[in-house]
Amino acid sequence: MSQLLLFNVFNGLIIGAFYALMALGLSLIMNLSGVINFAHGGFVAIGAYLAYTISPYVGFWGALLISPILTAGIGLIVERILIRPLYGRDPLYSLLLTFGLAFIIEDATRVIWGAQGLQYQIPNWLQRPLSSQLFFLTGYRVFMVVMVAVIVAGLFFILTYTRLGLRIRAGTLDLETVSVLGVNVRVLRNLNFGLGIYLAGLAGVLAAGMLGLQPTIGDSLIMPSFISIIIGGLGSLPGTLLGGLLIGVASGITTVFLPQASEAVIYVMMAAVLLVRPRGLFGEEGRF
Amino acid sequence: MQKLPVSTGTIVVWALLLSAPFWVNYTGGYTELCTRIVVLGLAAMSLNFLLGYTGVLSFGHAAYFGLGAYGTAMTMKYLVESTPAALVVGVLVGTIAAAVIGPLITRLRGVYFAMCTIAFGQVFYFIAFQWRDVTGGDDGLSAWHREPLHFGFATIDILSNNKAFYYFVLVFFALAVAAMAFILRSPFGRTLLAIRENERRARFLGIPVDRHIWMSWVISCGFVSLAGALYALLNDFVDPRALRWDQSGTFVIMAVLGGMRSFWGPLVGAAIFIVLQDYISSHTENWMSFVGLIFVVVVLFFPRGVLGIVRRKLMS
């Protein structure tokens, strides 16, 4: 029993790390640009499939490095061409645009890579369980948690100590003032979007190793990511991170006791948070 | 502020709707397509009650559409085989769910509101998807069909007569649309417009904004669940996709495509969207890309919608 619980808590932590990785990207984009990126799940799929395509040439580690960067590149182009014209208009339009984009990306991945699931190769030594007692603790799972931790630490480092991060945070609070102070807001939003998409691409590569590849790979992750943001509080990145981990672990624990409700529990949590604290755990008051 | 329906527009719309089954076959369409347009047009118009007239961004209307559909289908399958009773249950289920969830989200605004409506919408999708024994899960709820209407003196066969069913749907459409028009003309409706135009000012005038938004939300969801109930009857079938978030997005794009600042806009949008979808999906497997493309093109090039553009042309 205790091992089952441990297994599911750990599993929930991994899933939660995924949610958090996706939700952080969504959150970055939403905070600075006010755009809910529905196509985020699509970018996860792009990251995963690009890794699949290039890994025979550059290997697992090369793909892990390059694929998210390529995905971010696509993100930069998409932002430049499609999303930029919509800033300053009713948020409805950017929502609808990314919505349509999600359809297009899903269909495109299906056309390019086929509708069937594909296997993604990970190095052998990562597949092995670390110990015979804790059979579920494969190297890859541990590796993923470490990887997410490193990336998140890197993200917060960038946001706290680099000029770009400083501008992103400032822009989140007051974009107009940042613009008046001589920062090119267009470039800032573009880079910020790319950064968010980079995280999506990375989540895709990591997910591919665990779940395999499907055109709808991002679909099951996007709703929980929204909920991570809602629970954590809009406008707060640490909140988003916590929200993701929280719902992951909660659904892991629920799996032990009431497997049917593992999906439902995160929605219950969201309802509870909205009831008691509509702005989310770490959200600023009056922001929305 | 725009005028509510009185004009030649309304007359044209009704003339077309009433005569549709008699000329649609000559244009390459079929009666069922018209029924789809009326049903989904009603859904889009109900959404627009909230979106266009209250200025609140809901992306989760498919949930209440789907609840209406499931309520109707399950009544038919498990309780009584009576079309009117099933319709009533469907509408009640959707409306009550909206009324309960409403207070949780009507405090929120803008994108945050949109995100929460989507997330809550997915709850019902998961329930329908996972509760196999009752909802049929992914395969949907089939093996039932709408029943002919029995009045004391006559029976109307809406089951096998497509035209009869079209007019059956049109009656409900007329009632719902008339009710919406009536509400929008009332002081309550005007208050909703005031909230849309300037929420802060409305608040200063002493209007309980959150409660008005909640009422508008419940009304809108009530009508959308009527559309869902009719949709279930139309297909004699319902599956979880009726509840999914992409269905919600489809309603929004219908409203925007037709013009969300005009009363009939969403119906026009629904007609264009459904005809395009019908045409595209019979010609290519990649209809999803084209539907996505419709979204992108509408947002980038026709944000005012068809009727918005027409109105502008007429003004100048």
Residues of A in contact with B130 (CB under 8 A): 260, 263
CB A239 within 8 A of CB A281: yes
Q: Which one of B111, B289, B295 has the shortest CB-CB distance to A107?
A: B289
CB A62 within 8 A of CB A54: yes
pLDDT at B5: 47
pLDDT at A236: 86
Q: Is the whole model's pTM more than 0.95, yes or no?
A: no
Task: Determine, for residues B57 and A92 on separate chains, whether the beta-carbon distance falls below 8 Å.
Answer: yes
Residues 127 through 166 of chain B touching chain A, CB cutoff 8 Å: 127, 130
Spans in chain A with pLDDT lower than 70? 1, 130-136, 285-288
Task: Determine, for residues A34 and B111 on separate chains, whether the beta-carbon distance falls below 8 Å.
Answer: yes
Task: Determine, for residues B105 and A85 on separate chains, whether the beta-carbon distance falls below 8 Å.
Answer: no
Task: Determine, for residues B292 and A103 on separate chains, whether the beta-carbon distance falls below 8 Å.
Answer: yes
**Residue A46 counted as domain residue:** yes
**Residue A288 counted as domain residue:** no
Task: Determine, for residues A104 and B107 on separate chains, whether the beta-carbon distance falls below 8 Å.
Answer: no
Residue B6 has pLDDT above 80, yes or no: no
Tens-place pLDDT, residues A177-202: 888 998 899 999 999 999 999 999 99
**Mind telling me how many Å the CA of A205 is from chain B's nearest CA?**
24
pLDDT at A261: 79
**Residue A12 counted as domain residue:** no
pLDDT at B155: 78
User: Which of B111, B196, B199, B214 to mutate: most A Cβ within 10 Å?
Assistant: B111
Task: Determine, for residues A91 and B57 on separate chains, whether the beta-carbon distance falls below 8 Å.
Answer: yes
**Residue A235 counted as domain residue:** no
Could you tell me the residue ranges of all domains in chain B? 30-245
Structure tokens at A137: 């603790």
User: Which of A112, A223, A285 to mutate: most B Cβ within 10 Å?
Assistant: A223
CB A156 within 8 A of CB A149: no
**Residue A63 counted as domain residue:** yes
A101 at interface of B, judged by CB pairs closer than 8 A? yes
Tens-place pLDDT, residues B251-282: 999 999 999 888 999 999 999 999 999 888 88
Q: Which one of B116, B291, B295 has the shortest CB-CB distance to A230?
A: B116
Angle at which helix B31-51 crosses helix B162-185, to 10 degrees, equals 20
B299 at interface of A, judged by CB pairs closer than 8 A? yes
A85 at interface of B, judged by CB pairs closer than 8 A? yes
pLDDT at B170: 95
User: Which of A22, A79, A92 to mutate: most B Cβ within 10 Å?
Assistant: A92
Cβ-Cβ pairs closer than 8 A, A with B, add up to 119
Q: Give residue A161's domain range.
A: 18-219
Residues 34 through 53 of chain B touching chain A, CB cutoff 8 Å: 51
Structure tokens at A83: 């999303």
A108 at interface of B, judged by CB pairs closer than 8 A? yes
Q: Indicate the helix (H) or strand (E) that contains B155.
A: strand B155-156
**Residue A36 counted as domain residue:** yes
pLDDT, averaged across chain A: 88
Q: What is the mean pLDDT of residues B209-217?
A: 94
Q: Which residue of B has its CA nearest to A85?
A: B300
Q: Which one of B120, B127, B303 has the shortest CB-CB distance to A93?
A: B303
pLDDT at B148: 81
Tally Cβ neighbours within 10 Å of residue B284.
Answer: 11
**Residue A11 counted as domain residue:** no
Task: Determine, for residues B120 and A93 on separate chains, whether the beta-carbon distance falls below 8 Å.
Answer: no
**Mind telling me how many Å the CA of B288 is from chain A's nearest CA?**
6
Residues of B in contact with A100 (CB under 8 A): 253, 291-296, 299
Please, which contacts does A184-191 make with residues 24 or more away whose CB atoms are closer than 8 Å?
Answer: A186/A84, A188/A32, A188/A164, A189/A32, A189/A33, A189/A79, A189/A84, A189/A87, A190/A76, A190/A79, A190/A80, A190/A84, A191/A76, A191/A164
Q: What is the mean pLDDT of residues B138-153?
A: 80
Question: What is the ipTM for the molecules in this complex?
Answer: 0.86
Tens-place pLDDT, residues B175-205: 999 999 999 999 999 999 999 999 999 999 9
Structure tokens at B148: 């002919």
Tens-place pLDDT, residues A219-278: 878 889 999 999 998 888 899 999 999 999 998 888 888 877 788 888 889 888 888 888
